[in-house]
Chains A and B, each alone.
Chain A
Amino acid sequence: MNTFFHSVRLDREKCKGCINCIKRCPTEAIRVRDGKAMIIPERCIDCGECIRVCTHHAKKATYDHLDVLRQYEYTIALPAPALYAQFNHLEDVEIVLNALLEIGFDAVFEVAKAAEIVSDATRRYMAQPGIPKPIISSACPAVTRLIRVRFPNLIDQILPLNAPVEVAARIAREEAVQKTGLPPEKIGTVFISPCPAKVTAAKMPLGSSHSEVSAVVAISDVYPRLLKAMHTDGEVSPLAAPQAGKIGVSWASSSGEASALLNDNYLAADGIENVIRVLEDLEDEKFEHLDFIELNACNAGCIGGVLTVENPYIARTKLKRLRKYLPVSLNHASCPEQKHLKWDAPLEYAPVMKLDEDFAAAMEKMSEMERIEASLPGLDCGSCGAPTCRALAEDVVRGSASPDACIYKFRESISSLIDNLQKLNNCIPSTLRGSSSVEETHSKKGGELK
């Protein structure tokens, strides 16, 4: 049974077995074995760091291609707000929305619109008495996955609402069924995504039992097609009008979601290493008086996703310019049905770091691990295929590696082997030794006597 779907995968052909990715993976989910990288599926959170660092392009994201449009009778584009930040001199979101229609979609539902709906719902959720604060955003699926495997104490604080793309897909499909009279399965909701984590979230959702997103395509794939279809001269009459304001569009960059809550007691962190630091501190209760925590795995937020094309910081400037003339929100106080918004499959802790199901056995393994680690050189050089000496020690007790994978250990083993051979040679009883060695002793003695 395939319980793990991951968008992030390895292209074995291209992999040279270098150690760039194992060193940068925030969950230590990659090893090099037999000259090729391998991803430990239960640990991978699809953050895309390995795609960023692999100079051989051997790590890739899998996603759908635009020909999925042919599989449906009616297709709706769900553009991520990060898409708008990819274009130069974009004055009006309308131009992008119409270009989406031109490249073959039948309709567009802006994810930014759903983001405004989620912002509204979050404000209402947070106003309830007795909810555990600070609330942690659930919009970045890489972060939600990370919390699930590493921060069990924080699971109750995750915002139990669907991410904007999921809300968009649900509302869009329902509206399309009403408008077209088609059965729901003939309608394709296609997300235009900044990242692989969102691909995984659509195939294996966390928090909801199923996803209404039919397919996920990459911003980088759609971008060149869109460029050709974008008309800035105003010749075509606009078919699609903007559906979201500043609040929705701002979700594309870090602190956009948090600032939409109109509450200053928030923290927004971006970049997976920073996110981990914040989560560690949060778990140790090092922050006080915070109501909301927004965390994005990518630097600068979703505009920094690995499936975008523009440099995230330039994208942020573009987004700011675009936002300037937008109204604050176009979806204030819209009350969609709760079934579109609320999680229906609460998150459960997945203790993938656990050494053993049995505590006593885990203790044994831990002691063994400490002993092995102490015997390793502590260089964390990665040559063994594990990111650190400690990780190798862990792999050894888990039974997936040998301490001899360490080249320094191996060298030691070889030299002690040579020593032992030498000793063995010296131990051979004289009756079995060759005559030449016997003679040698004699002549030496003879020499002394002289």
Chain B
Amino acid sequence: MSILKLHYEIDGEDFTRAGEASASVKKRLRQLGVKPDATRKVSIALYEGEINMVIHAHGGDIDVEISPEAVRMVLADRGPGIENIDQAMKEGWSTAPDEVRSLGFGAGMGLPNMKKNSDEMQIETVLGKGTTVTMAVYL
């Protein structure tokens, strides 16, 4: 059984384009006939991750693998890394700068939302090197 692989490069400078990867994945899941609820979860989790890459890490790469069992997403950036993952995972914790907050981001809800909407989630991070978030949503 084949696995469908998708790759996206996320531009860290362009706010207006953030969300293109999740929109593209969502469109494909719809065409594959994936259950609406799973499609929604992937779309929400991926969008939050995509935005985080733009806001906190100057962009990066997203790889998505779709199989009959799950949608697996790997979001890798070469940003500053996360100092304290437990703290970052808390609802309401955010280091977003003011100009980002004025755009309506920075409520500190992104990572908790990703956790809530995925069936598996891991964060690997090295300060000064980057962060890789891996998520899976079961189909």
Contacts and interface: CB of A to CB of B under 8 A. Distances in A.
A366 B22 CA distance: 17
A416 interface: no
B36 A363 contact: no
Contacts of B32: 354-355, 359, 362-363, 366
Tier of interface size on chain B: 20 to 34
Given A283-B43, A284-B47, A364 B2 contact: yes
Contacts of A360: 1, 68
Contacts of A351: 30, 33
B33 A355 contact: yes
A363 B22 contact: no
Interface in A342-382: 349, 351, 353-357, 359-360, 362-364, 366-367, 370
Contact of B31 (A280, A283, A285, A362): A362
Nearest to B104: A286
Given A283-B43, A354-B31, A359-B32, A367 B22 contact: no
Contacts of A153: 36-37, 39-40
Contacts of B40: 153, 283-285
B44 interface: yes
Given A153-B36, A357-B33, 14 more contacts: A283-B40, A284-B22, A284-B43, A284-B47, A353-B30, A353-B31, A354-B30, A355-B32, A356-B33, A362-B31, A363-B1, A363-B4, A366-B28, A370-B4
21 contacts: A150-B30, A153-B37, A153-B39, A153-B40, A284-B26, A285-B44, A349-B36, A353-B30, A353-B31, A354-B30, A354-B32, A359-B68, A362-B31, A363-B1, A363-B2, A363-B4, A363-B66, A364-B2, A367-B2, A370-B4, A394-B31
Interface of A: 150, 152-153, 280, 283-286, 349, 351, 353-357, 359-360, 362-364, 366-367, 370, 394
